[in-house]
Structure 1
Amino acid sequence: MRDTSTTRTAAKRASSRSARLSIVLALSASALLSVLGPAHAAPAKDPLPADIPDYQAALEAVKSTAVRDTVCRFLRTPLPTGTGEPMQTIPEMTEPCQGLPAFTIKDPLALNEITPGFVAGTARPLPTEAIKLTQLVSSPSTTVNGRTATVMLAPTQGGGWHLAAVRDGDSDASYAGMATVGTLAFTEPQIRGWYQLKLNTVEPLNDQARQGLNGQASVSLAEYQQLVKARYADKLPGSEYDTKGYSSGSGTQHQADGTPASTPLLAGGSGAALALAGGAFLLRRRRRANTG
């Protein structure tokens, strides 16, 4: 009887400990969810990105009928086959999306670039001084006519965003989407290199970036600054190299006065871009930037 009583007492104690443990776990989970906030607890709606100003305006721009129609015009127009071809006017259409597969334009993402000060060596090798948001990028939700595209938004003076260009291919949007919590995706536009910044460590995301790091798997932000300084410090806007027209320089080419640039995104890489010039839609082949 003593053994049976002891067994029952032990069982009650175990059951009591288990109940207390369940309560503790439940309270811990509740506290964790309260700390993380609704964004981590199956939110009804994702919060707007804090690092993109006027993000609601950017959302409204990429979801607008005007931008979608422009993308449809671009995807309907055959790409130039040679680099020497003249600019090709994209025809106006009453229903440019009619007959094309249904698609939406994804939410815009930050396109971050290295700053001229970082390249020149006047800025410290810190994320806040080395990298700057210059544009937003988005892309259609599916291929259309066997093609993909990138929608480029530029900041408008006084706030908001406007369509700057539509470019063939969606690699920029894809790489921009590789940013994760605690990391930053950015581009070195002169070589079309894409990198990921983890604290103060720079890692390549594509072949151009790997070449830009001389084949290294990662470098410190300070080491990366020395690499880009050696490549571009003498080619910055205002330098002799720039004023003689040998290069587009390392500065941002995106206008922020509300009027689209006549030839946005012509520097760096290959492919075709739809430029917004005086209200006309122009398709031209982008030339390769001369970085040497």
Structure 2
Amino acid sequence: MRDRGTPVGREAARFPRLPIVLALSAAALLSAAGPARAVDIPDYQAALDVVRSADVHDAVCRFLGTPLPQGGSETMVAVPDKPDPCEGLPAFTLKDPLAVNEVAPGFVAGTAQPVPTEAVRLSHLVSTLDVTVNDRTATVLLAPTDGGGWHLAGVRDGDGDAAYAGRATLGTLVFTEPQIRGWYQLQLTTVEPLNDQAREGLDGRSAVSLAEYQQLVKARYADKLPGSEYDTRGMSSGYGTEDRAAGPASRTPLLAGGSIAALALAGGALVLARLRRARRGRGEA
């Protein structure tokens, strides 16, 4: 609400300052949370238990023990089912999971205030290896489980997501705009790009206000949110909570080729489907 210069009472005068109050409160929360926990992770101990479990360790071994498939991103090969999937591989452990935050639908639609607590939401968790194994790195993806807790959604080649997520510092928040693979750092209400895609997303600027960033993403995606014609035609860029094209999750481990290499386990089909939809939404092959 803008101050039009007319006299107002004490109660009315409080409302124009509401976004500022929310922003300052969010900043205090970010500062208190610490570098690795800029947004509090619900059921964090459950997430730790998952990444430290024998099942997840074996899943990563299967991933690392299978050569990356040759061919395009749609190439799929079955992962051999060995009695001991970790046989012959160097020892490794998984690091503590990190939050991957993404721009929130309400913020994109323009219905949410341009403040940190409204601009982003927790998407999923990622955990990477403490060492490289056979010159490869891998990222474990954890998805929230209905009713609470976390479960293994998949294993992807590389560690880029965790590298960006880990750049959150005291008083800052890191988030992604997954449709363009852009990564940003948010400090109070200033958005700064962390990679080339994000710089392109800010039209080459080194920083913008959160309100300005909201206008940019609103122009890009407001007509592509769930329920829009773009979404109902199956071209959604990743804001939907469900994927209509994805059938029941297969429990047979599969390895997807190309830049989105991932081991799809129970529940992992949704992760792969979202990644593929994001590529189609940008017109990529």
Give the % identical residues.
70
How far has the Cα of 1:81 moved from its partner?
Answer: 2.2
The DSSP-based 3-state class of the residue aligned with 2:48 is helix
How high is the TM-score relative to the length of structure 1?
A: 0.73
1:249-288 paired onto structure 2 within 5 Å = 249-252=238-241, 270-277=259-266, 287=276, 288=279
Partner of 1:18: none
- Give me the whole-angstrom Cα distance separating, in 1, the residues matched to 2:238 and 2:268: 27
Deviation for aligned residue 1:64: 0.8
For the pair 1:290 / 2:281, whether they are aligned, the reply is yes
Corresponding residue of 1:82: 71
Q: CA RMSD in A?
A: 3.1
Query: 2:39–2:173: 8 Å Cα contact kept in structure 1?
Result: no
- Give the drift of 1:54: 1.0
TM norm structure 2: 0.75
Q: What's the CA shift string for 1:128-153, capped at 9, x where partnerless? A: 11111121111011111211111111
Verify the 8 A CA contact 1:272 1:283 in the aligned structure 2: no
Unmatched segments (≥5 aa) in structure 2: 1-32, 252-257
1:250 deviation in Å?
A: 2.5
CA distance in 1, matches of 2:110, 2:51: 36
**Displacement of 1:208:** 1.1
Distance 2:162 2:37 in 1: 18
Q: Which runs of 5+ in 1 are unaligned?
A: 1-38, 41-46, 263-268
Point out which structure has higher relative CO (alpha carbons under 8 A, 6+ apart). Answer: 2
Structure 1 partner of 2:170 = 181
> The residue matched to 1:251 in structure 2 has which SS?
coil
- Name the residue aligned to 1:169: 158
Match of 2:93 among 88, 104, 114: 104
TM superposition shift of 1:87:
2.4
> Between Structure 1 and Structure 2, how many residues are aligned?
237
Q: Is the 8 A contact 2:102 2:177 kept in 1?
A: yes
> What code does the residue aligned with 1:81 have?
Q
Alignment check: 8 A CA contact 2:190 2:207 kept: yes
Equivalences for 1:1-292 in 2 at 5 Å? Answer: 51-83=40-72, 85-252=74-241, 270-277=259-266, 287=276, 288-291=279-282
Residue type matched to 1:290 in 2? G
CA radius of gyration, larger in:
1
The Cα of 1:271 is off from its aligned counterpart by 2.1
The superposition leaves residues 230-251 of structure 1 with CA deviations (integer Å, 9 ceiling, x where unpaired) of: 1111111221112212334433
- Return the offset for 1:289: 3.8
Q: 1:179 to 1:165 in 2, by over 3 A?
A: same
Change (3 A) 1:278 1:228: closer
